[in-house]
Chains A and B, each alone.
Chain A
Amino acid sequence: MSRFKFLWGVAILLVLVIVGVGGLTSSASATPLKPPAPPPVHQSFQVSQSYVPGSPAIQPRASQNTSGPAFTREDVIAFFNVHGFFAGPVVPGAHLQILTIQFVTAKQASQLMYGESVGRPDDYLVCYVKVQGPFLLTSVHMPHVKKAPTTAKYGDAAFDAHTGNLLVWGFYVQ
């Protein structure tokens, strides 16, 4: 009888220790340590902060140190033929049309985009592209709004002419 109780006690002991240690270790792994957040600092905005690298998109052919573009119009066409447009796929039955491809300054590209910032100095060379869908708007971030279109007829984008990186893309419903 005593031996039975002893074995029973050991078994319960093991279970409880496992549960206890398990609870400790699992909670420890679920609660990563993190340094305290510093209080917010509000510094004056510098436009150079907007000169970010962009997202890799068109593979450059030429050296990025040359003054001219590092890729061609054909590279742009090939990119859109493979990847489509950024807003989403064209509606069923439609085909993506590339309306224009222009190597222009960032200032000119901004003007073509109704004043949208391109994220480069005014005289910097970029590649502006305008396309036509219509496109389904599946990749659009938006607040909780009262109305949202599901398709857009036109889209545009600007690429860094030296790196091929995407700087901005957008769409116009009409």
Chain B
Amino acid sequence: MLLKQPKATHTTGYSILADRAITALFVLIVLFSSSLFLAGTAMAAGASAMTPQIPLSGYCNNPDPYSGHCYAERYWPGYTGGANTLINPYGALNCQGCTGFITDEMWFSDPYSSQCTSTAFQACWVEAGVSTYPANDPNNCIPGYDSTCLFWADERPNGGGYHEHPLYTFGGDGVDLTPYLIYITIANNNGFSSSGSAWSISTLIYESGNLIANPGGLSTNNTMNVDRVTIGSELSDSGASAGDFYFQDNQWMNGSGVWKYQTTTGTNDSTNPPPYGYWQTSPCSCSGNTGGSFETYD
């Protein structure tokens, strides 16, 4: 009688070897892939200043009730004769098809003196920065096209009104501003006091490490007494978006004409986002302080 041999339920020597090889290969692959993924994540965190690259757009749900604009900003109160910031962009300002704009800029203002509170805006200021312009805006630095331009403007007391000046053309809407560094300095043109009548607007524009332009302006017959320095982003349209823009080297000038780095985070005067803004590196009274790095994005 032949006994039926049961089916072999154990593996052979060959199959054991193959399974171990597959397992080992599998472990190696997991380790390799993980290292690639982690390396990539670390690069992103290190080089893009550890912020989420979330393409967000829209309009804030509580714009300023008077202007209808949205802001991501910080301001430092206090009398000063000058202020400086470096706008360090990673990405672009986008506002294709907009009727409004999105900016990154610095404001140098007097919101308290009676000569300025009696103006239509209840404040005087000088501002400079990068803005998008709609294609149909005749003040466009590339007529007929959505574009990205550097500008300065002022609102002056004693009937001087608001005036805006073109400074530099970066390109069309959405032009990558990453290669650029834009230094902006606004200061008393005749001394170091917070009171004056002429304010210089100086810029230094670097592209890929090379200084390519230094357009400027002069705000004249502007007798403001400056008591506020503000940095940040202004939004006046629902169709905008923006990359990561960093405000660095934030400085103010004391009464002796000495430039000092900001050492505090200032006051948050933002509306609800967008645009978004936060201190990626806070200014501090500490060694190595360079005025912090305030990031805006939308």
Closest to B213 in A: A52
Interface of A is mostly: loop
B26 interface residue, CB < 8 Å from A?
yes
8 A Cβ contacts from B150-179 to A: 151, 153-156, 158-169, 178-179
| A174 cross-chain contacts in B, Cβ below 8 A | 120
Q: Which 7 A-B pairs have the closest CB atoms?
A: A115-B221, A20-B36, A170-B163, A49-B216, A31-B47, A20-B33, A45-B200
Shortest distance from the beta carbon of A109 to any chain B beta carbon, whole Å: 12
Which of A's residues lie within 8 Å of B, judged by CB? 1-2, 5-6, 9, 12-13, 16-17, 19-21, 23-28, 30-35, 37-43, 45-47, 49-50, 52, 54-57, 79, 83-86, 110, 113-117, 119, 138-149, 152, 166-174
| B107 cross-chain contacts in A, Cβ below 8 A | 143
| A167 cross-chain contacts in B, Cβ below 8 A | 165-166
Task: Among A16, A25, A27, A28, point to the contact of B30 (Cβ < 8 A).
Answer: A16
Contact B19 A2 (CB under 8 A): yes
Contact A30 B22 (CB under 8 A): no
Closest to A18 in B: B33
A9-B25, A19-B37, A147-B120 known; 15 other A-B pairs, CB under 8 Å?
A2-B22, A17-B29, A27-B40, A34-B179, A50-B201, A57-B143, A86-B139, A116-B160, A117-B217, A138-B100, A139-B137, A139-B139, A141-B105, A142-B155, A148-B64
Contact B230 A143 (CB under 8 A): yes
Contact A28 B40 (CB under 8 A): yes
Which of B's residues lie within 8 Å of A, judged by CB? 15, 18-19, 22, 25-26, 29-30, 32-37, 39-41, 43-44, 46-48, 53, 64, 66-67, 69, 71, 73, 84, 86, 88, 90, 99-101, 103, 105, 107, 109, 111, 120-123, 125, 127, 129, 131, 136-143, 149, 151, 153-156, 158-169, 178-179, 181, 183, 185, 187, 189, 200-202, 204, 206, 208-209, 214-221, 230, 234, 236, 248-249, 251, 259, 269, 271, 290
A116-B216 contact in complex given A41-B204, A146-B111, C-beta closer than 8 Å: no
Interface of B is mostly: mixed
Contact A173 B161 (CB under 8 A): yes
Task: Among A41, A46, A147, A170, point to the contact of B164 (Cβ < 8 A).
Answer: A170
| A149 cross-chain contacts in B, Cβ below 8 A | 120-121
Task: Among B18, B34, B156, B202, point to the contact of A6 (Cβ < 8 A).
Answer: B18
Shortest distance from the beta carbon of A151 to any chain B beta carbon, whole Å: 10
Contact B22 A172 (CB under 8 A): no
Contacts between the two chains (Cβ within 8 Å), count = 253
| A110 cross-chain contacts in B, Cβ below 8 A | 220
A55-B84 contact in complex given A144-B73, A169-B163, C-beta closer than 8 Å: no
A52-B140 contact in complex given A13-B25, A145-B67, C-beta closer than 8 Å: no
A146-B216 contact in complex given A26-B40, A86-B138, A141-B105, C-beta closer than 8 Å: no
| A139 cross-chain contacts in B, Cβ below 8 A | 101, 137, 139
**CB-defined A-B contacts under 8 Å, sample of 17:** A1-B15, A6-B18, A27-B41, A34-B88, A37-B249, A38-B206, A40-B84, A41-B183, A55-B139, A114-B160, A116-B163, A116-B221, A141-B129, A143-B127, A145-B66, A152-B161, A170-B162
Task: Among B35, B161, B221, point to the contact of A170 (Cβ < 8 A).
Answer: B161
| B149 cross-chain contacts in A, Cβ below 8 A | 55
Contact A55 B166 (CB under 8 A): yes
Contact A116 B122 (CB under 8 A): no
Shortest distance from the beta carbon of A170 to any chain B beta carbon, whole Å: 3
